[in-house]
Amino acid sequence: MLIQFTLNGRPVSVEAPAHLTLLTVLRDYFHLTGAKEGCSIGECGTCAVLVDGELVNSCLMLAPKVAARTVLTIEGVSPADGSLSDLQEAFIAYGAVQCGFCTPGMVLAGEALLAQTLTPTREQIRTALAGNLCRCTGYQQIVDAIAAAGAQRKEVN
């Protein structure tokens, strides 16, 4: 079926079978490989993307469900000039990236939270990351990076 939606700020349309997941369509049809298939059962969050600003696991969402909606993947987070976003820079500065497999989902979970508040408590950050697993760094650095990016955005505003 024909699925039309807004992907990383750009209107797109794709002809794909209705039973494919959003993750499959993003990776195999749009070649956006930032969202990863980790567990495929909704436990790890490494496939997370934002749909209309809400964090969802793209492995558990059928692609037709994003029709007429907006999807943001990690590829759409950074500015068009190829530089990194402030949150991505914070992940680097705070050592929040090791193998990198969980990072796209973590960054998007962070963006979903920072859209709600720029001054989240550590507990709120941990809750916002509850559906994203990291097996390398532990979570302190990731929490630190999101807190720092929020504080920085607050200052800029």
Q: Which residues bind another protein (CB under 8 A)?
A: 18-19, 21, 40-43, 45, 48, 54-57, 59-62, 64-65, 109, 112-113, 116-117, 120-121, 123-124, 127-133
- Smallest gap, in angstroms, from Cβ of residue 80 to another protein? 27
- Smallest gap, in angstroms, from Cβ of residue 18 to another protein? 5
Burial group, residue 37, by CB count within 10 angstroms (0-12, 13-18, 19+): middle
Based on CB atoms, which residue is closest to another protein, 32 or 35? 35
> Mapping DSSP to helix (H, G, I), strand (E, B) and coil, where does residue 59 land?
helix
- Smallest gap, in angstroms, from Cβ of residue 82 to another protein? 28
Based on CB atoms, which residue is closest to another protein, 35 or 96? 35
Residues across the chain: 157
- Smallest gap, in angstroms, from Cβ of residue 153 to another protein? 14
Based on CB atoms, which residue is closest to another protein, 128 or 148? 128
* Alpha-carbon gap, residue 122 to 146, rounded angstroms: 9
Based on CB atoms, which residue is closest to another protein, 68 or 80? 68
Largest Cα–Cα separation, the chain: 46
SS3 content of the chain, % helix, strand, coil (to 5): 40, 15, 45
